[in-house]
Chains A and B, each alone.
Chain A
Amino acid sequence: MTHALKTDNSDALIRDKALWMRQQAMKMVYAKQLGHLGGDFSAIDVLATLYFGVLRYDTARPEWAERDRFVMSKGHATGALYTALCAAGYFPEDWLDTYMGHHSKLNGHPNRQYLPGVETNTGPLGHGFPVALGIAISGQITGADYRTYVLTGDGEQQEGSNWEAAMTAGSRKVKNLTLIIDRNRLQQGARTEDTNGLDPLDDKYRAFGWHVVEIDGHDYAQLLDTLGAPVADREKPLCVIANTVKGKGVSFMEDQAKWHHGVPNAEQFAQAMKELV
């Protein structure tokens, strides 16, 4: 299946896919009683937009040299990544049932050697961004026209390796690179600003030589316009601060740090599935 273009029904398509991804992630995590639903749900609209409105890829040829790359730097959000790759057609739906099972291809953090469509292994924070930068630089060297997208958590921005990459990308004007920051303002233990404050993130990235756009990370029209903007129109790498809600879509999970890696009981699962329609 080759996906490439934004179509007239993109918004509706992306909405449907995002709903399906949330339902599947909820089922996977409930069944295994392991996972990171809060961060899955804050990022799912971004991933649904990328895979069904922005990225150029061919699931029959995962190693296709000209594919656009998406790197999930917040590797713990496998509920978002695996459901996106499955929805895109990289692997059959029944693989989701094996989530984190013994020898499953769906490890607790993504492994490129287990699953097609995974660009690099992530899990420890602050790794995906430098790797994505390297992918983008490779494209610059060869003149390839693929685009590289990387999504980090906002708490993840506390890792210094991100700022090493930010400096290099700005300095080298790596304009084919887009960084998306999942700005849900919560990390594992508390609010980001109560832990090791990030604001003003926009000014920080501007100072490092980036274009910065701040959007509603759950608004498909804004996501499509921003993430789909032509690379030729800019001279710098693009940082998209996607303001999101941790646990988005399930009332009792929204904006609660405890749902970083909280797992639902039977009652909560039933309630969540009732809301995810």
Chain B
Amino acid sequence: MAVAAATTAPMFDCRKAWAETLEQLAASDERIVVVVNDSVGSSNLGGFQTRFPDRTINVGIAEQNMVGVAAGLANGGRIPFVSAASCFLTARAMEQIKADVAYAGFNVKLVGQSSGIAYGELGATHHSIEDFAWLRTLGPITVIAPCDAWETAEAVKWAAVHEGPVYLRLSRMKVPTLDLPGRTFTPGKAEVHRSGTDVTIIANGTTVHLAIEAAETLAAEGVSARVLNMHTISPLDTDAVTAAAKETGAIVTVEEALDRGGLGGAVAECTSATHPVPLQRVGFPGFMPTGSIASLFEEFGLSREGIASAARIAIRRKGA
């Protein structure tokens, strides 16, 4: 399922990092439990279930119940990680996420597996491209989309100790582990992968490595592109976005999600209030047609060339 044909770096499925990290945490914190909807296998939680059978609560195919039960487990002092395909977790249980988790303020960790269009040809029912727009409106929930295996592990570690609801948007799509010296994960703080002065590309999740490739292409043309990994979409790092607008004068957002209401929408809300600049949003326009992940990424511009092209347009629009 690799989408970055151009890269030669080894590619990793981040579910391994998620599951191994959670198992390690659970070994030292008995409050950690998982709640699943017959999703042990798809969540890569077989090892967790074997080690901690009493802390694996499988409610069956019942997402409303799954999220409600998690809120109750938090009331009882557990730290529940709800792990399910993000399309069903967020859409089917949206009112439970709103009322029982966000509004009630329970310490529940929602882990959306196989998000975006990871289910490819299975179609729009199984895609989760609306979840950024839905979840980021629920203020108390921290919404994080890790970009690689390292960041997935860091986000899981942070979520386990953070007191409050979290949505971790994970993927089964293979991505390279990004190389950044002295890397630290700070929720709510964008990670600068590349400095630049002509345009800023703001990406998250599975698209960050594509944004870096696009910046390389642009550099070869003499265009200096800044690349930000906006792993936390809510709360947004408005300082980094505003600085990007002021210092580079043009922005491209990239997300494996709808091109409305998600990262692009959040950045637009921010810059319209602080420093309006040309903004090109790379994402999906609506329900996806049938296709492989690679072909859909290519068609809708989630690629080295697609992102570079959006950057050229954003730069052309400066002063227009």
Contact = CB atoms under 8 A, between A and B. Distances in A.
Interface stretch (A135-143, A228-236, A247-255): A135-143
Residue of B60, B65, B67, B95 ringed by the most chain A CB atoms within 10 A? B65
A136 B140 CA distance: 25
B68 A127 contact: yes
Contacts of B95: 124, 127
Interface string B138-153: 0000000000000000
Interface in A103-136: 111-113, 119-124, 126-127, 129-136
Given A121-B99, A127-B68, A138 B62 contact: no
Classify the interface of chain A: helix, strand, loop or mixed. Answer: helix
A136 B68 CA distance: 12
Contact of A161 (B64, B76, B77): B64
Nearest to B105: A113
B59 to A, nearest CB: 5
Interface string B14-54: 00000000000000000001000000000000000000001
Contacts of A127: 68, 95-96, 99-100
B126 interface: no
B69 interface: yes
Given A126-B64, A127-B100, A167-B60, A142 B72 contact: no
Given A126-B64, A160-B64, A164-B62, A120 B77 contact: no
A158 interface: no
Interface in B212-234: none
Contacts of A119: 75
Nearest to A165: B65
Contacts of B99: 121-124, 127
B1 interface: no
Contacts of B77: 65, 138, 142
A69 interface: yes
Contacts of A161: 64-65, 68, 96
A59 interface: no
Interface in B62-115: 62, 64-65, 67-78, 80, 95-96, 99-100, 103-106
A198 to B, nearest CB: 19
Contacts of B64: 126, 130, 160-161, 164
B55 interface: yes
B38 to A, nearest CB: 12
A151 B288 CA distance: 43
Contacts of A131: 68-69, 71-72, 75, 100
Contacts of A130: 64-65, 67-69, 71-72, 96, 100
B199 to A, nearest CB: 43
B250 interface: no
B57 interface: yes
Residue of A112, A123, A124, A164 ringed by the most chain B CB atoms within 10 A? A164
A69 B72 CA distance: 10
A226 interface: no
B104 A112 contact: yes
A188 interface: no
Nearest to B65: A164
A164 B93 CA distance: 12
B62 A134 contact: no
A137 B60 contact: no
Contacts of A138: 72-73, 75-78
A126 B106 CA distance: 18
Contacts of B70: 134
A260 B62 CA distance: 31
A165 B62 CA distance: 9
Nearest to B70: A134
Contacts of A165: 65, 68-69
Nearest to A133: B69
A168 interface: yes
A135 B73 contact: yes
Nearest to B103: A121
B65 to A, nearest CB: 4
B68 A133 contact: yes
Given A130-B64, A141-B54, A112 B105 contact: yes
Residue of B55, B65, B67, B72 ringed by the most chain A CB atoms within 10 A? B72
Given A131-B69, A164-B62, A141 B33 contact: yes
Residue of B33, B68, B96 ringed by the most chain A CB atoms within 10 A? B68
Given A120-B100, A121-B104, A133 B65 contact: yes
Contact of B75 (A120, A160, A168): A120
Nearest to B108: A134
A225 to B, nearest CB: 27
Given A134-B68, A138-B72, A141-B55, A168 B60 contact: yes
26 contacts: A112-B104, A113-B104, A119-B75, A120-B75, A120-B100, A121-B100, A121-B104, A122-B99, A124-B99, A127-B68, A127-B100, A130-B72, A133-B72, A134-B70, A134-B76, A137-B69, A138-B73, A138-B78, A141-B54, A141-B76, A141-B78, A142-B77, A160-B64, A164-B59, A165-B69, A168-B65
Given A112-B105, A134-B76, A137-B57, 16 more contacts: A113-B105, A122-B99, A127-B99, A127-B100, A130-B71, A130-B72, A131-B71, A133-B65, A134-B72, A138-B77, A138-B78, A141-B78, A142-B77, A161-B68, A168-B65, A171-B60
Shortest beta-carbon contacts, A-B, top 4 = A134-B72, A138-B76, A130-B68, A164-B65
